[in-house]
Amino acid sequence: MSGTHGTQTTAGPVLGNTPPEATSATGEAGDNAAGIEAVGRVAREVLPETGVIADPTQLRTYECDGLAHYRVTPALVVLPETTEQLAAVVKACAEHGVPFVARGSGTGLSGGALPRADGVLLVTSRMRTIREIRRADQRAIVEPGVINLDVTRAATGEGYYYAPDPSSQQICSIGGNLAENSGGAHCLKYGFTSNHVLGTELITPQGDVVQLGGLAPDSPGYDLLGTVVGSEGTLGIATTATVRLVRLPEEVRTLLVGFYSTDDAGAATSAIIGSGVLPAAIEMMDALAIEAAEAAVHCNYPDGAGAVLVIELDGAAAEVEHEYALVERFCQENGAFELRLAIDATERALIWRGRKSAFAAVGRISPDYIVQDGVIPRTALPEVLRAIAELSSSSGVRVANVFHAGDGNLHPLVLFDGEKEGATEAAEEVSGAILDLCITHGGAITGEHGVGVDKAAYMPKMFTDDDLDTMQLVRCAFDPGNISNPGKVFPTPRLCGEVPGKRKKAHPLVEAGLADAF
Amino acid sequence: MTTVSLDAARTALSDACGEVTDATPADAVDGVPAALVARPGSTEETAAVLRAAAAQGLTVVPRGRGTKLTWGRPPESADVVLDLSRMNRVLDHAAGDLIVDTEAGALLSDVQQTVGSAGQRLALDEPVAGGTVGGMLATNASGPGRVAVGTARDLLIGVTVVRADGVIAKAGGRVVKNVAGYDLGKLVIGSFGTLVVVTRAVFRLHPVPAARRFVSVPFGTAEDASRLVQSVVHAQVVPAAVEVEWRVDGAGTVVVLLEGTAAGVEARAGTTRRLLGAGAEAAETAPPGWGVLPWTDEPGATGLKLTCALSGVAPVLAAVQRAAADAGVALTVRGSGAAGVLYAALGGDASTEAVADVVARTRAVCTEHGGALVVLDGPPAVKAALDTWGPVPAIDLMRRVKEQFDPERRLAPGRFVGGI
């Protein structure tokens, strides 16, 4: 979610007893060297010299994404410029059984673009053309390396914007957004990437180019597009995205509201949503997160606040006017002691700066931290926040809370000093316990950062073997060779040769003489 | 009954599920006679039925209330109709979290009634009245309101399914924001019962708006209709729906729905009337036929779904009108101009050749404008003579998905694209 977090340089923990470098998730350097060489040959044939990287020092610059504590040096890096080049390299990977990992800007926070030591990293950053802004159709067609915010920039002149806005939107790519089904502060009202990508040209893991969805909705057939978006690069690589452009709202109002406690702020949030008002965003920060943001960007949030809400209302002016009156009342009824309305774009930016800088800002008050991304039903917010506070006080591990209050997506920041003995383990334990809290409250282990390599081990806590096995049927349809970002999302791979439920012998009734097969 | 005797099948299914009966002619699926009807009462019983059916090698067609069973192609065979109407409970309405958890056999109207008591709604229209949640998901049915909140794919947040081999699986969950694992819900929506049987679904809800206003204006030509639609979608009035209707007598109307607060709607309706120009009128109630498919109550009519990019609305409307006129076929069109999804009814007295001609000519224009034409519903003889689904990109990949989920092709075989 936050690129600022992703690009800052805390050392970060090595999670768990077994670093992923040493597991099957990332492969071993030197495996299938002949295959890598063959893929490299194809890549050099179809790409200019600068598009293929095999030099060990240069390779190392691609060793991690935004989750910097997982590091694996890829065997080869390829930077294609066209669909044809990319498809040729993928085809070569399929032919030689070489795993590949696609990467956009590398801002992901779950290690979804962590390379394979025995594989190829396919970087889409040179596929960066906005092909069409189609105002009449309210669509844009863009290449995967296009930066999220650049779509909005290209459409603003026409009165439009691209709604999904992860905090890293200044640097993250549409292809990465598509792979991760990225969210953002405004998805409370406008939905996620999956609601805004209407079509894609996909290179399948076998190197075929297929079109899924397009300019018109409801393409006949299975909604493969809906399955591909958010599949974290395990079903292929998107080479274009047809995205929805949303009309700029007539009016936007951004408020900053100070409360004495997170309980009060949570109650105000519930009152607002319960009344039928759907703000574009409701974000909450607790005292520790505010302290960090103040230290970093001097956002001048209300003095003495135990929590702040950043609330944004947008839409037709007549509606926003009415909603604002309601929001103001609900905040006051729930103990708000200060309410500031941004009067212009500068003030709005200042309010958002505190929120958007929060992850990186935590680096000011702690040498290391883990960003969690759990989701809970919004009504469980007060209870879960209290439980997190108890976890924190009983373990002595500080936790700062920054989150999308409107949809219950928590980003607890678990603070620690990796230099202190046992601190890393204690932080990991608290981090894991927070995820357990989310699961026991009927929530999810990730709301927008993805499973990647980081949370694959948690998947069995949320899903049964049958659930995971069923998801992997899709994987086997797209990627029978298990070469497209293998080791991510699922804790254990499925062998695609097994066909479930297929009868291997004669029908039991036929065998028993009860029936005849025609 | 493909491989085993009816008695053996009946016995096996009865062991799996308390309610198994012999099918009657009324249980035929789009003209294809069924042998048995199983009515499981739970996900577990559904799984037992599917396991028994798998062991017997029986084909299975899931059914809610059967309101859309004639959509798509008829199945190649329907040994067992898996009737989900007993699984009709709305399990949990968590009003504070704006979600509802429901069995697939629940009537959509029952779900609306339950959540409506808290001032909420499942923001899905019901183009065919009397259907179930499962049927709505299987056919990806939608209506005018899709402009504001989208379709089932934008509202379904969790799903429980039973596979052809009887394995129960779920995906998603009970929270709106969730990216853990593949989104199987989207894969299942619009799959016409050919992948899995949905037994339970969780949806996000929306508040019922305090006020609604319908602003209508007549139009003459396809270009006029498109111009009116474009004027509204590029304005900032935030329409909940923009419907285009072309009645059989050639009279056209564009209707814009505005939803929100009383004061807000009043102001936006005023702006919308100005945008639509002379003749625009506002009303508090929906015009007749709002959200109803144009072939409803038209015996023998052929129902088409036309999709296109928004800029294709004018050429598609013009094409279907010209093709119908040339073929001498009565035509009614109704659908969402702002979503690029139009439904057309071709009169029940049209010959198969005439229908085929309209379909071919209109399909070419839909395709040219980024969309497709699907023959959704129609008399068996007409459907049999037509390529109902039309060309489907990525069909090979779809076949592979089917092969993984239902390798023996026992779930509604042949109903879907490319003979899936």
Residue A55 maps to which CATH number?
3.30.43.10
Whether the per-residue pLDDT at A23 is higher than 60: the answer is no
Instruction: Give chain B positions within 8 Å (CB) of A184.
Output: none
Over the Cα atoms of chain B, what is R_g? 22
Say what the pLDDT of residue A25 is: 78
Q: Which CATH number is A177's domain given?
A: 3.30.465.10
Q: Do A218 and B174 touch (CB under 8 A)?
A: no
Residues B89 and B40 in one domain: yes
Count of other CB atoms within 10 angstroms of residue A278: 18
Please report residues of A whose CB lies closer than 8 A to that of B312. Answer: 215-216
Q: How many CB atoms lie within 10 A of CB A282?
A: 29
What residues of A are in contact with residue B173 (Cβ under 8 Å)? 442-444, 462
Interchain contact, B393 vs A468, CB within 8 Å? no
Length of chain A: 518
| Closest CA–CA distance from residue A58 to any residue of chain B (Å) | 33
Task: List C-alpha distances in Å: B380 to A211, A259, B388.
Answer: 31, 65, 11
Structural domain boundaries enclosing A456: 366-462
- Tell if the CB–CB gap between A444 and B180 is shorter than 8 Å: yes
**A 444-463 residues inside an 8 A Cβ radius of B:** 444-451, 455, 459, 462-463
Residues B177 and B226 reside in one and the same domain: no
Ramachandran region of residue A501, left (φ > 0), alpha (ψ -120 to 50) or beta?
left
- Of A123, A152, A186, the one marking the end of a domain is A123
Q: Which residues of B touch A229 (CB under 8 A)?
A: 183
Asked if residue A357 is part of any domain, the answer here is yes
Q: What pLDDT score was predicted for residue A517?
A: 34
- Same domain as A220, residue A161: yes
pLDDT category at A20 given cuts 50, 70, 90 is: low
- Which is it for strands B90-94 and A160-161: parallel, antiparallel or unpaired? unpaired
Q: Which of B157, B16, B61 is nearest to B410 (CA)?
A: B61
Inter-chain residue contact A467 with B171, CB threshold 8 Å: yes
The CATH number covering residue B167 comes to 3.30.465.10
Same domain, B331 and B201: no
Instruction: Please count the other Cβ atoms lying within 10 Å of the Cβ belonging to residue B330.
Output: 16
Q: What global pTM score does this model have?
A: 0.94
Q: Contact A441/A430 with Cβ under 8 angstroms?
A: no
Query: In this structure, are residues A71 and A106 in contact, taking their beta carbons and an 8 Å threshold?
Result: no
A262 Cβ contact list (under 8 Å, min separation 6)? A284, A286, A306, A307, A382, A385, A401
Domain total of chain A:
4
- Cα separation, A491 vs A166, in Å, equals 26
Same domain, A361 and A256: yes
For residue A411, give the CATH number of its domain.
3.30.70.2740
Q: Is residue A174 part of a domain?
A: yes
Contact A159 B234 (CB under 8 A): yes
Q: Please check whether residue A489 lies inside any domain of the structure.
A: no
Domain with residue A329: its CATH number is: 3.30.70.2190
Measure the CA–CA gap between B179 and B303, rounded to whole angstroms.
37
| Phi, then psi, of A73 in degrees rounded to 5 | -85, 125
Phi and psi at residue B326, in whole multiples of 5°?
-60, -35
Shortest distance between the Cα of B366 and any Cα of chain A, in A, equals 9
**A115 shares a domain with A136:** no
Alpha carbon of A405: minimum distance to chain B alpha carbons (Å): 11
Q: Say yes or no: A17 and A78 in one domain.
A: yes
Domain termination residue (choose one: A421, A436, A462):
A462
Provide, as residue numbers in chain A, all residues whose Cβ is less than 8 Å from the Cβ of B159.
none
Domain range for B359: 302-385
pLDDT in tens, A356-400: 888 888 888 999 999 999 999 999 998 999 999 999 999 999 999
User: Three-state DSSP class for A17?
Assistant: coil
Residue A44 falls inside a structural domain: yes
Quick check: B28 and B66 in contact, CB under 8 A? no
ipTM metric: 0.97
Confidence (pLDDT) at A511: 47
Q: Is residue B313 part of a domain?
A: yes
- The mean predicted confidence, pLDDT, of chain A is 90
Q: With cut-offs at 50, 70 and 90, classify the pLDDT of residue B387.
A: very high
Q: What does DSSP say about strands A120-123 and A76-78: parallel, antiparallel, or unpaired?
A: parallel
CB burial class (10 A; 0-12, 13-18, 19+) of residue A130?
middle
pLDDT of residue A199: 98
Q: B188 and B216: one domain? A: no
CA A44 to chain CA centroid, nearest Å: 32
Q: How far is A501 from chain B (nearest CA, A)?
A: 5
Domain match, B259 and B309 both: no
Q: Which of A238-252, A311-325, A357-371, A494-508 has the lowest mean pLDDT?
A: A494-508
Q: B396 in a domain, yes or no?
A: no
3-state helix, strand, coil in chain A (%, to 5): 40, 20, 40
Residue from A473, A499, A503, A504 to probe the interface with B (highest B Cβ count within 10 Å)? A473
Contact A85, A44 (CB under 8 A): no
Compare CB distances from B264 to A322, A471, A477 and report the shortest one's residue: A322
What is the number of residues in chain B? 420
Bridge partners, A202 (sequence order): A210, A238
Angle CA A122–A127–A131, to nearest 5: 150
Q: Looking at beta carbons, which residues of chain A come within 8 Å of B198?
A: none
Picking from A123, A144, A177, the residue at the C-terminal end of a domain is: A123
pLDDT tens digits for range B302-348: 999 999 999 999 999 999 999 999 999 999 999 999 999 999 999 99
DSSP designation for B306: E
Considering only residues 307 to 366 of chain A, which have any Cβ-Cβ distance to chain B shorter than 8 Å? 315-319, 321-323
Band of residue A244 on the pLDDT scale cut at 50, 70, 90: very high
> Could you give the number of structural domains in chain B?
3
A-chain CB neighbours of B395 within 8 Å are: 221
Same domain membership, residue A258 and residue A325: yes
A130 lies within 8 A of chain B by CB: no
Q: Give the other-Cβ count within 10 Å of B22's Cβ.
A: 11
- CATH number of the domain enclosing B330: 3.30.70.260
Q: How far is CA A233 from CA A115, A184, A195, A238, B398, in A?
A: 12, 20, 18, 9, 18
- Flag whether pLDDT at B112 surpasses 70: yes
| Residue A318 belongs to a domain | yes
Helices (H), B156-202: 184-188
Do A180 and A170 lie in one domain? The reply is: yes
Residue A136 shares a structural domain with residue A237: yes
Say if A20 falls within a structural domain: yes
- Please check whether residues B5 and B19 belong to one and the same domain: yes
Three-state helix/strand/coil letters over A272-304: HHHCCCCCCEEEEEEHHHHHHHHHHHCCCCCCC
B-chain residues near A221 (CB < 8 A) = 389, 392-395, 398, 416-418
Q: Do B339 and A217 touch (CB under 8 A)?
A: yes
Residue for token pair 């009152």? A271
Please tell me whether residues A101 and A201 are part of one structural domain.
no
Average pLDDT rounded to a whole number, residues A36-56: 97
Residue A496, domain member (yes or no): no
The answer to whether residue B48 is domain-embedded is: yes
Residues B188 and B221 in one domain: no
Q: What is the pLDDT of residue A8?
A: 30
| pLDDT, position A506 | 44
Query: Are residues B1 and B16 located together in one domain of the fold?
Result: yes
User: Using CA atoms, how far apart are residues A205 and A99, in angstroms rounded to an integer?
Assistant: 9
**One domain for residues A404 and A449:** yes
- Given a cut of 60, whether residue A505 has pLDDT beyond it is no
Say whether both A359 and A371 belong to one domain: no
Interface probe with A: pick from B79, B151, B175, most Cβ of A within 10 Å: B175
Please tell me whether residues A454 and A375 are part of one structural domain: yes
Whether residue A110 has pLDDT greater than 90:
yes
For the cut 90, the answer to whether the pLDDT of residue A19 exceeds it is: no
Mean pLDDT of A286-308: 93
Same domain flag for B200 and B216: no
Same-domain status, B130 and B234: no
Same domain, A328 and A237: no
- In angstroms, the separation between the Cα of residue B204 and the nearest Cα of chain A is 11
> B215 and B202 in one domain?
no
For residue A366, report the phi and psi dihedrals to the nearest 5 degrees. Answer: -155, 135
Q: Structure tokens of A229?
A: 């978006």
**A68 lies in a domain?**
yes
B249 and B381 fall within a common domain:
no
Residue B385 has pLDDT above 80, yes or no: yes
User: Does residue A182 contact residue A176 with C-beta atoms inside 8 Å?
Assistant: yes
